[in-house]
Structure 1
Amino acid sequence: MASILFLAHRVPFPPDRGDKIRGWHVLRHLARSHRVHLCAFADDRRDLQPRAQLVEATASRTILWRGKGRVRAVAQALATRRPFSLTAFDAAAMRAAVGDVLAREPIDAIYGFSGQMAQYLPAGSRARIVMDFVDMDSAKFAQYAGEARGPMRWLLAREARLLQAFEADVAARVDASLFVSEAEAALFRKATGAPRVRAIGNGIDTGFYDPAAGAPVSEAGPLIVFTGQMDYRPNIDAVAWFAETVLPEVRERHPGARFAIVGRAPTPAVRALAQVPGVLVTGEVPDVRGWLAAASVVVAPLRIARGVQNKVLEAMAMARPVVASPEAAEGIDHDGWLSVARAPGDFANAISALLADPAQASAIGARARRQVQRRYGWDAQLAPLDALLELEAA
């Protein structure tokens, strides 16, 4: 039985947001045959006390509070000429925790989850190192910079440039670099020329995300649903764009249609959207499956997105018809199971057609679930990991 050091920028359990979902399933996969030692940050006070499932899956756990504010992280980044994505997660206590695990445990492999944790990869270690970047974060910041103005444009362009150099340096010295989709992996290869880059996609637990698993919430009329962490910039941008440019056109044809924004930590800008006719902002809900089960249509109108969107796989697993932007559909085999639209009019047309023909919408949803069951199980997606880490099962 091998020993693995698992570095995570966020405690991976409970798996209640996109990054934690991938992190938890990777950790659990590795823990089935190996001893996993976790070093992770927490940004939710509830995560400081590990749940029973996380304790059961790990041989040891070090969870540290990440309380550094954005202004402080940016100031440190400017002073040290580093990306603020790294200074935000730079902590002496985490370096000490990683060093302690390496000193006391015969670590055979290290799994770094998310680029922010690459700064803790030890130099000169004999352990095999796999860096799961998930997405190419530098490309995301370049996209942000392209839409910003003034000093913020300069700051975001600086972040993109410095972060890409850091990503390339890390990829050159680890044994494998992972990305969530082949498109993301190809983008990284082209931008950095890095070797040993491959894609391992996200999966979905179709036993949990099952249309028969829970009762739909009670909402009258056609219901359009978006799910996600609502203090995350791409999600904020997506729901604002949809509520302001797409929903009015849908409601002209279907006056009773409502748009539910379902997810924790809605910002003031998101909460303000509840003043738009037909918009409902739920905040955190105990179980998102009830809202998905009630949805006439699920939308993913992200204009800034990287990799595979868990929200799309979850909706498809729940047998819901989905209308998504090209960015949100990236990396998902969606021929005939997912509608893709970019312009507001195209989005409105696709949604209106589904609302006008519930039988066809239901048939598309059923096909979507079958596709997810066939292609996107976590076991199938993560099967290559042991070979990449060069570990033998117990």
Structure 2
Amino acid sequence: MGDILFLAHRMPFPPDRGDKIRAYHLLRHLARNHRLHLVAFADDPDDLRHQDGLAAYAATRTIVWRDAPTVWTGARALLQRRPVSLVAFADPAARRAVDALLAAEPIETIFLFSSQMAQYLPPAPRQRVIMDFVDMDSAKFAAYAEGGRGPMAWVHRREASLLLAHERRVAGAADASLFVSEAEAALFRARTNASHVYAIENGIDTVFYDPASRFEPTGGAGPLLVFTGQMDYRPNVEAVTWFADKVFPRVRLAHSAARFAIVGRAPTQAVQALAERPGILVTGTVPDVRDWLAAAALVVAPLQLARGIQNKVLEGMAMARAVVASPAAAEGIDHAGTLCVAEGADAFGDAVLRLLDAPDTATALGAAARARVIARYSWDARLAPLDALLEAPARQRHQRGGVRGDRLVPGRYDADHERRR
């Protein structure tokens, strides 16, 4: 079998946040039957110290440092009439690495993880192209625009429009476009009319996330409610703020010793400020998130904006915790009633209090949730459909067709009986 070039917008190791977890398991799955070459960005100095962890999966590894976007990034995006999301990942070193690997190695498949990496495709790739969008980024920015006002609403509308055009072009050049849930795939089909769109769901490592393992106690008394996630990510920031404002005060009235732990790296100033309120803990980076999940009376996932399948929900379920989730956080998860889904502050508060008042019910719900993810969400089962996509013949592309930057290079694509000019 030919080699695979795997391009990722973030180094997929250690697998300690949502996008890195998915990319890591994809890389591991693909490496079972293929020789892999990895080109990825890193934006955390700590990640650079873990590069050796990828040696078991990738024959060659090129990690390119990426600084945080600046005002100049936005200015360049405006001048070039491109999405900020793409300009932020445009890097000459990454392009040189991709071009060198394509010239030197027998690459049969180019696997793109996140649409930002599509700008590194050659103009007319002879290789099979698989594009894992994961989520529909243009829809996320459209939602930001709807909920915003003033200049930022305009910025988000612009980003949504340009990204949607980019997503259409990339899907037109790809042999397969992947999404993390069927709901996200259906939304993409509806908004782009793209074909060859598939759902490849996230899984969960139920051996690693096993409540029977031994964990370090987190200390403190009183029922513990836990939220986990990257805490400079806007939907997570908005979720914990909403919970702290709208739900937790009511919980504290009924359970004065209740605590709400916000567990995750890089908390923003707004998140850190929540720790000044009674009963709220903001941990920052922790050695092992499972310590906090094991200590939780409940896991809460009150996201108001979410795309795809939420790893934080699967992790709580795998740890046999009762999970109270918003409809947005639960969307895409085939939980078969093992999640408590509640919409709005009153309903969410009712659900939390009901489970805190009935710990046996919470324990039973958590046990059912773990059984569900074991039966439904193993990584091997979720990623198995990839194998058929890798065996399908690559589409024929004319010499001058392709995606370069975020613009379609003039040319023609033939795929099955479809033709695009």
Three-state SS of the structure 2 residue aligned to 1:62 is strand
- Runs of 4 or more above 6 Å deviation: none
Q: 2-side partners of 1:50 and 1:243: how far apart?
A: 35
Q: 2-side partners of 1:36 and 1:72: how far apart?
A: 34
Query: Any conservation in 2 of the 1:129–1:389 contact (CA below 8 Å)?
Result: no
Task: Quote the residue 2:81 is aligned against.
Answer: 81
**Aligned-pair distance for 1:49?**
4.1
TM-score (norm 1): 0.98
Q: 2-side partners of 1:63 and 1:219: how far apart?
A: 41
Q: 1-side partners of 2:214 and 2:285: how far apart?
A: 17
Task: Quote the residue 1:71 is aligned against.
Answer: 71
Letter in 2 for 1:125: P
What are the ranges of 5 or more consecutive residues in structure 2 without an aligned counterpart? 394-421
Task: Quote the residue 1:184 is aligned against.
Answer: 184
**Aligned-pair distance for 1:296?**
0.4
Task: Quote the residue 2:237 is aligned against.
Answer: 236
Query: Any conservation in 1 of the 2:43–2:68 contact (CA below 8 Å)?
Result: no
Query: Any conservation in 2 of the 1:214–1:289 contact (CA below 8 Å)?
Result: no
Cα root mean square deviation, aligned: 1.2
**Aligned-pair distance for 1:386?**
1.8
Three-state SS of the structure 2 residue aligned to 1:108 is strand
> Do structure 1's residue 389 and structure 2's residue 390 form an aligned pair?
yes
Three-state SS of the structure 2 residue aligned to 1:76 is helix
Task: Quote the residue 1:310 is aligned against.
Answer: 311
Q: Spell out the pairing of 1:316-335 with structure 2 (5 A cutoff).
A: 316-335=317-336
How many matched pairs? 392
**Aligned-pair distance for 1:192?**
0.5
TM-score (norm 2): 0.91
Identity value in percent:
65
> Do structure 1's residue 362 and structure 2's residue 363 form an aligned pair?
yes
**Aligned-pair distance for 1:268?**
0.7
Query: Judging changes above 3 Å, is the alpha-carbon distance between structure 1 residues 222 and 200 closer, same or farther for their aligned structure 2 residues?
Result: same
Q: 2-side partners of 1:3 and 1:391: how far apart?
A: 15
Task: Quote the residue 1:193 is aligned against.
Answer: 193
Letter in 2 for 1:136: M
Q: 2-side partners of 1:48 and 1:371: how far apart?
A: 36
Letter in 1 for 2:57: A
Task: Quote the residue 2:145 is aligned against.
Answer: 145
Three-state SS of the structure 1 residue aligned to 2:55 is helix
Q: 2-side partners of 1:145 and 1:34: how far apart?
A: 42
Task: Quote the residue 1:90 is aligned against.
Answer: 90
Query: Any conservation in 1 of the 2:40–2:64 contact (CA below 8 Å)?
Result: yes
Q: 2-side partners of 1:251 and 1:68: how far apart?
A: 38
Task: Quote the residue 2:159 is aligned against.
Answer: 159
Query: Judging changes above 3 Å, is the alpha-carbon distance between structure 1 residues 68 and 249 closer, same or farther for their aligned structure 2 residues?
Result: closer
Letter in 2 for 1:254: H
What are the ranges of 5 or more consecutive residues in structure 1 without an aligned counterpart? none
Q: Relative to total residues, which structure has the larger helix share, 1 or 2?
A: 1
Task: Quote the residue 1:373 is aligned against.
Answer: 374
152-161 vs 68-77, which moves further: 68-77
Task: Quote the residue 1:39 is aligned against.
Answer: 39
Q: CA-to-partner distance for each residue in 1:259-278, whole Å, 9 max, x for gaps?
A: 00000111111000001121
Query: Any conservation in 1 of the 2:14–2:50 contact (CA below 8 Å)?
Result: no
